[in-house]
Amino acid sequence: MRRRNVVFLGDGMGKTVITGSANVGQLGVTTYSSATVGVAGDGFMAKDLTIQNTAGADAHQAVAFRSDSDLSVIENCEFIGNQDTLYAHSLRQFYKSCRIQGNVDFIFGNSAAIFQDCEILVRPRQGRPEKGENNAVTAQGRTDPAQSTGFVFQNCTVNGTEEYMALYYSKPTAHINYLGRPWKEYSRTVFIHTFLEALITPEGWMPWTGDFALKTLYYGEFENSGPGSNLSKRVPWSNQVPSEHEEGRGVMNMRRDHFSNRGIFSLPLRNSQYNEDVQRIQMPCCCGSRY
């Protein structure tokens, strides 16, 4: 969809449901084209609906929602999948009070995306989930140091579905979950004031392979809470963001005026702690970016 300022307005999560099952195991289908809903026109907005990909846990990459829409706003929407549920592919995106379910790299892409007051839920994976698995919530894909892309999670919750948490507590050492891993060399992800449930492993972050991107990524945490937020055993290549850091740059510079109040969308950025908390955190990038 390439029209500008398109609005999807539903009757609520689970009431208005858009569904598909495309996946990379099908002839001619790529990760990009597997999306149940894909948008490219700037200014896309969606509220009060569910978008899902029902390909199943054994289908590998199967996207529910993909966005290349600049200044897009998604509020009170649910995205359900397994691997690669939400493809925040490019440009500036804002997700407010959404629920995102998946398991492998299920929030990924190379956008500058803010997730505020969202519920992030890990789902059971594979045909025999009791065997255990390693999951990464995010796989941000910045490819160049001059880009101003990255993911910011503020006031969110990272947890598992009821079914997954039953599996986790039955054998915690077999069900390992990380906040993210570097899909591309300059991956950028920060969690701010987010509740991290016990399923998040003490190491926090997962390498992609070997030492790829470990010297060029930026993964940060700032004043999170919950049993998974203890930083004492975090991997040495992640960061505990100091409160005295200067106003942010790059993706952190997505100011509230980028997303003015738009009709039916509440967009509480004007009255929230977003500016104070997010912009004072420095997530390094280079100059010369589009934004």
Catalytic residues: 84, 105
- Tokens representing 121 are 């839920």
| Contact (CB, 8 A) for 87 and 51 | no
Q: Which run of H or of E encompasses 87? A: strand 86-88
Give all strands (DSSP E) within 133-198, no chain letters.
133-140, 150-154, 157-160, 175-180, 188-192, 195-196
Measured CA distances, 82 to 57, 95, 102, 108, 269 (Å): 6, 19, 4, 12, 30
Rounded to the nearest angstrom, the gap between the alpha carbon of residue 254 and the centroid of all alpha carbons in its chain is 16
Nearest CA to 214 out of 234, 238, 191 is that of 238
Nearest CA to 192 out of 163, 235, 239, 155 is that of 155
Phi-psi region of 13 (alpha: psi -120 to 50; beta: other; left: phi over 0): beta
- Given the structure tokens 């208005």, which residue do they identify? 16
